[in-house]
């Protein structure tokens, strides 16, 4: 059960935003289950990743993380790269800094983390300083429309949803040029196999909440083909969608259990509701197969 303060903000109906996320009998693959009404549009903050929102994602995924699964999922992605203290890593999508610090602590690798969002860059830099990882983890901002990295500098690359509305060729070419010959790339990306229409109410709400252009999402095939044309040796292409949804729901369940032990303030409850609305819309698109999360593991030719 939710605390009284949470019920006040989440609504008294059993079909409220958060209860729809946390149904114990939820079957991620079912297609016949009734869908809840979309939450009413709320005023969005001026920035996508302000400190208030990051405080919520810290509770959901772990300190400094903005991705479901947090450190466990990050290390699962990184370990096939064979990282060690003798390697350097280009990390795109550094988030709020948790990923960079976990990679240094667990694997000893030298990390140069980049993000396109200035608020995430600031949060990640602060996280690295507070955890005394500054000697092995450096944080910088990058421009996905005009990416520029040190040439043939990094042994490997881990890119977490790096396309950000740009042409895959632009980003993948820049990564290739940054890798040493034979360097490996592990990449995740949000894809839409069928074009999303901005006038669809669900798509429009997702675009508003995520501040994304639904027309700019790539397809899995397009990214794989671009990798091939650029000389990448693509070893693995894996659909992570079910894992992504499962981890998202597990994160919300853990958060609600924690809130039962400590009553949140009205401000905190409001922030949690706003994040839950983002997840409700996101999960509906994933359940319907209109959005997917895909992983690529490839070896570059170092000639970009």
Q: Is the pLDDT of residue 24 over 70?
A: no
pLDDT score for 113: 98
Q: What percentage of the chain carries pLDDT values higher than 70? A: 84
pLDDT bracket for residue 19 (50, 70, 90): low
pLDDT of residue 20: 54
**Torsion sign (Cα): 86, 135, 62, 93:** negative
> For residues 230 and 185, what is the distance between their CA atoms, to the nearest angstrom?
13
Look at residue 1 in the predicted model and tell me its pLDDT: 42
Q: What is the pTM of this model?
A: 0.88
Confidence of residue 259 (pLDDT cuts 50, 70, 90): confident
Q: For residues 95-121, give the mean pLDDT.
A: 97
Task: Tell me the sheet residues that pair with 187.
Answer: 159, 296
Nearest Cα to Cα of residue 160 among 80, 250, 65? 65
The CATH number of the structural domain formed by 4-21+35-299 is 3.40.50.150
> Which of the pair, 281 or 35, is modelled with greater confidence?
281
Distance between CA atoms of residues 26 and 30, nearest Å: 8
Edge-to-edge strand list for the sheet holding 292-299: 137-141, 110-115, 88-92, 154-160, 179-191, 292-299, 233-239
Taking all residues of the chain, what is their mean pLDDT, rounded to a whole number? 88
Burial of residue 234, with CB atoms counted within 10 A of its CB: 0-12 exposed, 13-18 middle, 19 or more buried: middle
26-39: pLDDT as tens digits: 444 444 444 545 44
Q: What DSSP string describes 208-234?
A: HHHT--GGGPPPHHHHHHHHHHTT-EE
Q: Which two tokens stand for residue 59?
A: 């509770």
Cβ atoms within 10 Å, residue 210: 14
Check residue 264 and give its pLDDT: 85
Closest listed residue to residue 85, CA positions, set 102, 60, 61, 103: 103
Task: Give the per-residue pLDDT at 144.
Answer: 96
Domain locations in the chain? 4-21+35-299
Q: Which of 146-150, 153-157, 219-223, 257-261 has the lowest mean pLDDT?
A: 257-261
pLDDT (0 to 100) of residue 214:
96
Per-residue model confidence (pLDDT) at position 262 = 80
């Amino acid at each position: 059960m939710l605390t009284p303060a949470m019920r006040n903000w989440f609504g008294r109906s059993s079909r409220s935003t958060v209860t729809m996320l946390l149904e114990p009998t939820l079957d991620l693959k079912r297609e016949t289950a009734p869908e809840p009404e979309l939450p009413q549009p709320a005023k969005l903050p001026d920035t996508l990743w302000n400190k208030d929102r990051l405080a919520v994602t810290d509770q959901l995924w772990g300190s400094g993380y903005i991705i479901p699964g947090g450190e466990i999922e990050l290390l699962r992605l990184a370990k096939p790269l064979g990282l060690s203290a003798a390697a350097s890593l280009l990390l795109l999508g550094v988030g709020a800094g948790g990923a960079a610090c976990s990679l240094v602590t667990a694997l000893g690798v030298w990390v140069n983390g980049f993000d396109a969002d200035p608020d995430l860059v600031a949060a990640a830099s602060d996280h690295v300083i507070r955890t005394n990882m500054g000697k092995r983890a450096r944080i910088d901002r990058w421009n996905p429309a005009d990416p520029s990295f040190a040439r043939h500098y990094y042994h490997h690359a881990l890119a977490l949803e790096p396309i950000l509305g740009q042409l895959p060729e632009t980003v993948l070419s820049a990564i290739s040029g940054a890798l040493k010959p034979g360097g490996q790339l592990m990449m995740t990306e949000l894809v839409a196999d069928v074009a999303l229409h901005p006038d669809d109410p669900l798509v429009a709400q997702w675009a508003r909440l995520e501040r994304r252009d639904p027309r700019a999402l790539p397809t899995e095939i397009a990214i794989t083909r671009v990798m091939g044309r650029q000389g990448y040796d693509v070893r693995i292409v894996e659909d992570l969608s079910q894992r992504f949804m499962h981890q998202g729901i597990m994160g919300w369940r853990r958060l609600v259990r924690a809130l039962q032990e400590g009553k949140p303030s009205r401000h905190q409850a409001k922030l949690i509701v706003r994040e839950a609305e983002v997840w409700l819309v996101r999960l509906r698109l994933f359940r319907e197969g209109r959005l997917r999360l895909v992983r690529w593991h490839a070896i570059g030719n170092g000639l970009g």
